[in-house]
Amino acid sequence: MIRRAIILVPGLAKREQLSVRNRLVTALEAEAQEWIVQRKDAEETDDTDAVLLTARPRSRPSEADDGTITLAVYEAYWGDLIPEWSGEAIWTRFARASSMMMYWGFGGLAGALVRRETPERMTGAILLAALLLFVWYLSVLAVLVRTVAESGLPVLDWLAPGSTAAQEAAQAAADKVQNAGKGLAGWAEMLSARAQQAAQWLVGTSLYMVVAGLVGLTWLERLANAADFSKAYLQNLPLGEDDTGVRTKARNRLLSVLDQVNAQDGPAAYDEVYVVGHSLGAAIAVDTLAEYGDPLQKTTLFTWGSPLGPLVMQDNWVEGEVRKLYDGDPGLRSWIDVAFSIDYLGSRVPVPRIDPQTGRNRMDRRFPETVEPPVPNGISRWSHRLHDSYISTSEVVMMLVEPAEKLPTYTPPRGV
């Protein structure tokens, strides 16, 4: 009987510990229709232990050696590392938003977009995300301007609704420009006055209410927080009370479970280890496994809806971690990348470049092409439910149950 450990690394969301693991267990029981999947122990285990399942082919229910597989499902939980940003002060929020917009607006991903190096589907997703993040940033700015305008500061009297100060300043500056022959100083003064007038209009009209209200939409706030947390992860910034970076903490969570799984010996030892990273959890899985060593020989990595495509372009170290999994000796048993064709929050894992500093030549593909399962019925490409649907899609879940020999493999083209 094969013993297989499945370690789930959830995506970016503040969920209760083990809730995503329990969803996966339920899906394994319900979606693996060609198999009879049953729990060996219905009692809840503690946070670091697994839910044990047996999976038996439905076509051979009574044979002695029937290909039964024991599945132990773990969760490498890291959701508590995500800050609670909803109650932060407006000044803190504005500073955070400005830093995040600068990071993504002038980083490696933006450069790749300008150079037209991004795949077509990714380009559309990036531009859409950029537009939504700009709307979010505008809403934060609107709240800040409103807060300052209502603070009673004398120097900002021109912001008060109904004040004619901004209009008078703008007209005076325009007259000065006309009389001075449109000199540089006159233009600067006029633009400054016009900016004041625009800010007053933003504060005093219903546009403020419309824009500020957008920040309350769950999907828009979720996107902004995901972009900001991803920035913190890529830069290994501390987000808690101590100075340890969030990337280091997330890796340690997965390392702890990996060590527990690989420490089993004798009859309890696992023959196979499946690490399943969803969304940003895929980046955490790659980052952790890149230097894990000998246990990788029996480890298969699954990435579901991963953001590794854009992350590789944003920061070179991500591509370096992917390269280690290609170069590893011993290396991964396999790497199965899964992405819905219309999942704008997911991307294909790119084959790493041989040397990013000297050229664009890529390494030989070692792992299978990205698997694109059918999109679940009734889910729109614009729905956040699509990105969360990997865990409940039969074609995706079945890969965790079937024998490893049935997983997709990579066959080099003829002549290669």
CATH code (residue 64) = 3.40.50.1820
pLDDT score recorded for residue 416: 52
Starting at the edge strand that comes first in sequence, how are the strands of the sheet with 299-304 ordered? 35-39, 51-57, 69-75, 2-9, 272-278, 299-304, 334-338
Do 222 and 255 fall into the same domain? no
Mean pLDDT score, 237-244: 90
Do 225 and 299 fall into the same domain? no
Kind of pairing, strands 334-338 and 299-304? parallel
Domain boundary among 230, 262, 295: 230
Do 174 and 252 fall into the same domain? no
Kindly report, residue by residue over 62-92, the tens digit of the pLDDT: 555 567 899 999 999 999 999 988 778 888 8
Cα 221 from chain centre: 14
The model carries a pTM of: 0.82
Do 112 and 248 fall into the same domain? no
Do 212 and 247 fall into the same domain? no
* Exposure string for 380-395, b = 16+ CB within 10 A, e = fewer: eeeeeebbbbbbbbee
Kindly report, residue by residue over 97-111, the tens digit of the pLDDT: 899 989 999 899 888
Torsions phi, psi for 207 (to 5 deg): -60, -40
∠398-401-405 over CA atoms, to 5°?
A: 95
pLDDT score recorded for residue 348: 87
pLDDT score recorded for residue 171: 55
Do 309 and 400 fall into the same domain? yes
Do 123 and 16 fall into the same domain? no
Domain boundary among 193, 211, 230: 230
Do 287 and 177 fall into the same domain? no
Task: Give me the amino acid identity at 336.
Answer: I
Mean pLDDT score, 135-140: 78
In the chain, the number of structural domains is 2
Count of CA atoms in the C-beta half-sphere (13 A) of 54? 11
Which range has the top average pLDDT, 160-174, 204-218, 259-273, 377-391? 259-273
Is 236 domain-assigned?
no
Domain boundary among 180, 204, 230: 230
Q: Rounded to whole angstroms, how far apart are CA atoms 34 and 54?
A: 13
Is 252 domain-assigned?
yes
Q: Rounded to whole angstroms, how far apart are CA atoms 393 and 33?
A: 12
Higher pLDDT, 258 or 225: 258
Do 181 and 290 fall into the same domain? no
pLDDT score recorded for residue 415: 56
Q: Give the rounded percent of residues in the chain with a pLDDT score beyond 70.
A: 75
Do 284 and 344 fall into the same domain? yes
Q: Which residues form the domain of 171?
A: 90-230
Q: Which helix (H) or strand (E) element contains residue 277?
A: strand 272-278
* Exposure string for 120-148, b = 16+ CB within 10 A, e = fewer: ebbeebbeebbebbebbbbbbbbbbbbeb
pLDDT score recorded for residue 215: 45
